[in-house]
Amino acid sequence: MSRSAQSVFVFGLYLAAVSLALILFPNPLFAVLRLPASHEVWPRVVGVLALVLAHYYTQAARHEVVAFFRWTISARLMVFVVFGLFVFFGLAPLPLALLGTVDLAAALWTAWALRPSPVN
């Protein structure tokens, strides 16, 4: 597995873990993020959608779909920016920005891994 595929695969595993938390026990996750508890189905629906995305990430990594790796960089940077704006405008508490920071770090890892190797 290439360095870029490894970065995408690891992010897919992270996304799967967050997804499963949303599906199985959203309120403890919300407590950590200082979000209000929910008794609606929507957090679990979002968890299922995120689990589908995790599947795409891990499968693309396993099959070295480099175009997908490139697409994820801008998408994950967008998550960082949007979550930061949510916090800035008082729509979400600061811990949500930490989730965005994970996306930022993972996007930078993938971008770094995709850069061309120096020629000897």
pLDDT at 51: 98
Nearest CA-CA partner of 67 in 114, 11, 102, 105: 114
Q: What is the mean pLDDT of each run of 10 residues along the chain (120 residues)?
A: 97 98 96 93 97 98 98 98 97 93 98 83
Note the pLDDT of residue 11.
98
User: What pLDDT score does 116 carry?
Assistant: 84
Are 76 and 27 contacting, i.e. CB atoms less than 8 angstroms apart? no
The per-residue pLDDT for 117 is 75
